[in-house]
Amino acid sequence: MNEDSQSPASHVAKAPFLNAPYSAYLHRDVPAEDAELTHVGPGTPGGEYLRSFWQPVAFSAELRDLPRAVRILGEDLVVFRDGSGRVGLVEMHCSHRGTSLEYGRIERRGIRCCYHGWLYDVDGKILETPTEPQNSTLRDRLFHGAYPVTEHAGLVFAFMGSPQRQQLPQLPRYDFYSLPGYRVVPAGRAVLPCNWLQIKENIMDPFHTVFLHAIITVQFAAWHAEAPELAWSDSPIGTVAVASRRIGDYIWTRVNDFILPNIHQFATDIDTDHPEQFAVEGPWETKWGVPIDDTHTMIMRLLHVKESAMSGMSPSEQAHGIDQMIAAANIGEQPDPATPYEETQRHPGDYEAQVSQRPIAIHALERLGATDRGITMLRKTLRRGIREVAAGSVPQDQAMEPSEVIETYAHQQLVRIPRKGSADEDRAVLQRVARHVAENPKRFLGSRPDDLHRRIPLETIVA
């Protein structure tokens, strides 16, 4: 049963179960979407919740001599870097006559409207109104709409929450910004024509890799085609999903991390022919799913490149290697316009699977099962957060000390646990490993699989 959509508090009517052949007639009336979770515009519960967190709106490297039009959470805005290096995020339409500031001229201080020359500072202060008499006080009495911004790790973040808060929250210090042995690389964006939530739910659904990525379309290694044992748990910052598989004498666990409200990260596919040499790996990719509006989502990505992978390369070789990694990260996420439609039918990827759920997935039509527990957990976690913020609480990441580094959990590891007993007995061991890691999702620090024996008490797993 779908606990989330069955909850009376969700106010979404469940579509009837079909228990007879040729009964689509009973599903002609499509239920409404779960607006509390999916609607993001100003004044909506979900929109106000997302606005209570810092959201990435652009890459720092994009802000050069021209402003950029962006649409975030249903609001049309312009982001720019002025001549003194400060970044501004302002309402798109000029306060004078409504001309878009995407055509504005960037100046040493602020941005000037192309139509009548009104000049705006990054905080919305009106600096000049050339159309007014010299003694006019209009500019002293008005401000143009603007949002606070900050830059970190090559991203421009905006805080679009209420200015009536007593204090602007600090940008959270997640550990993935400075993992030892990794280089953080801004890795481009993708825009998907669907609601943000169905994109984020993908990370709590490890089972989809079996069919979508290893059987229907072969994108991942062969061992992905074997159904994993799964486990989920809440974390201090969201939820985690664990998939556990057998590779010879080793058990491979992969931990996907959902970080409230709209970040997910995961480790790359394992690609070693020598498990005994495999080191524990942290996240390969961190993604924000920033709602453009209810039916469009912008993905902003960071890659975590292992420094050892760049060792011995020239700067140009490193740049080429990183470009290849960025291209690989985009596979299946954004369609190639040159690919025939029939080919996408034969070899669909995440894009087709997520976008084809409708512009906003209808939860009341779903029939969630045993492997969908992570979806139910994620929705419950988000709904709880939405209601807490509506009641006046601050998000968890803002309740921490600004200097506190926030631990995240995405990683993969191999543990040497040889197969014992029957296939069913081995599946039980895989399940116990998955549950153990889900209950203790911190990254294990051993550099080789045998080192992990100290950290995972095998007697509790194989007994």
Establish if 68 belongs to a structural domain.
yes
d(CA 367, CA 382): 20
347 — pLDDT class (breaks 50, 70, 90): confident
279 and 138 assigned to the same domain? no
> Does residue 446 carry a pLDDT above 70?
no
What is the secondary structure of 381-419 as a DSSP string? HHHHHHHHHHTTPPPGGGSS-TTPEEP---EEEEEE---
Q: Give the pLDDT confidence score for residue 155 in this predicted structure.
A: 98
This prediction's pTM:
0.90
Q: What is the pLDDT of residues 46-74, one digit of tens each?
A: 999 999 999 999 999 999 999 999 999 99
If one compares 243 and 274, the residue with the highest pLDDT of the two is 243
Look up the domain containing 58 and give its range.
53-159
User: Which residue shows structure tokens 């579509």?
Assistant: 15
- Determine whether 459 is exposed, middle or buried from the number of CB atoms within 10 Å of its CB (0-12, 13-18, 19+): exposed
Please count the structural domains in the chain: 2
* H or E element, residue 149: strand 149-152
Going by C-alpha positions, the residue among 68, 61, 64, 113 that lies closest to residue 89 is: 68
If one compares 8 and 358, the residue with the highest pLDDT of the two is 358
d(CA 389, CA 41): 16
d(CA 177, CA 286): 10
131 and 239 assigned to the same domain? no
| Residue 207, both tokens | 């089972």
449 and 404 assigned to the same domain? yes
Establish if 445 belongs to a structural domain.
yes
64 and 181 assigned to the same domain? no
* H or E element, residue 55: strand 54-59
CA geometry: angle at 336 spanning 335 and 338, to 5°?
A: 140
Establish if 31 belongs to a structural domain.
no
> Does residue 175 carry a pLDDT above 90?
yes
Pair type for strands 405-406 and 173-174: parallel
Radius of gyration of the chain, Cα coordinates, nearest whole angstrom = 24
238 and 308 assigned to the same domain? yes
Establish if 25 belongs to a structural domain.
no
> Does residue 453 carry a pLDDT above 60?
no
**For the CA atoms of 449, 280, 407, 257, what is the dihedral angle to 10 degrees?**
-110
- Which one of 133, 159, 185 terminates a domain? 159
- Mean pLDDT, residues 356-381 taken together: 95
Establish if 32 belongs to a structural domain.
no
- Which one of 136, 159, 182 terminates a domain? 159
What CATH code is carried by the domain that includes residue 125?
Answer: 2.102.10.10
115 and 216 assigned to the same domain? no
74-78, 328-332, 348-352, 450-454: which has the highest mean pLDDT?
74-78
What CATH code is carried by the domain that includes residue 232?
Answer: 3.90.380.10
Establish if 180 belongs to a structural domain.
yes
d(CA 372, CA 309): 35
Contact 128, 140 (CB under 8 A): no
For the ranges 86-100, 204-218, 435-449, the lowest mean pLDDT is seen at 435-449
Q: Give the pLDDT confidence score for residue 166 in this predicted structure.
A: 65
> Does residue 387 carry a pLDDT above 70?
yes
What is the secondary structure of 170-234 as a DSSP string? PPPEEGGGG-TTEEEEEEEEEEESS-HHHHHGGGG-TTHHHHIIIIIS--S-GGGGSPPEEEEEE
Establish if 138 belongs to a structural domain.
yes
Q: Give the pLDDT confidence score for residue 9 in this predicted structure.
A: 44
Beta strands, E only, 60-141: 68-72, 75-81, 87-91, 105-106, 111-112, 119-120, 126-128
d(CA 21, CA 309): 55
263 and 410 assigned to the same domain? yes
143 and 274 assigned to the same domain? no
Q: What is the pLDDT of residues 77-132, one digit of tens each?
A: 999 999 999 999 999 999 999 999 999 999 999 999 999 999 999 999 999 999 99
Q: Give the pLDDT confidence score for residue 206 in this predicted structure.
A: 85
> Does residue 3 carry a pLDDT above 50?
no
Q: What is the pLDDT of residues 279-291, one digit of tens each?
A: 678 899 999 999 9
240 and 340 assigned to the same domain? yes
132-136, 214-218, 329-333, 377-381: which has the highest mean pLDDT?
377-381
269 and 384 assigned to the same domain? yes
For the ranges 99-103, 270-274, 379-383, 405-409, the lowest mean pLDDT is seen at 270-274
127 backbone φψ class: left, alpha, beta (φ>0; ψ -120 to 50): alpha
d(CA 287, CA 354): 16
Q: Which residues contact 334 (CB under 8 A, 6 or more apart)?
A: 190, 191, 192, 351
Establish if 278 belongs to a structural domain.
yes
If one compares 278 and 119, the residue with the highest pLDDT of the two is 119
- Which one of 159, 185, 219 terminates a domain? 159
Specify the DSSP class assigned to residue 153. Answer: T
Pair type for strands 105-106 and 111-112: antiparallel
CB atoms near residue 255 (< 10 Å): 30
79 and 200 assigned to the same domain? no
149 and 199 assigned to the same domain? no
d(CA 443, CA 20): 48
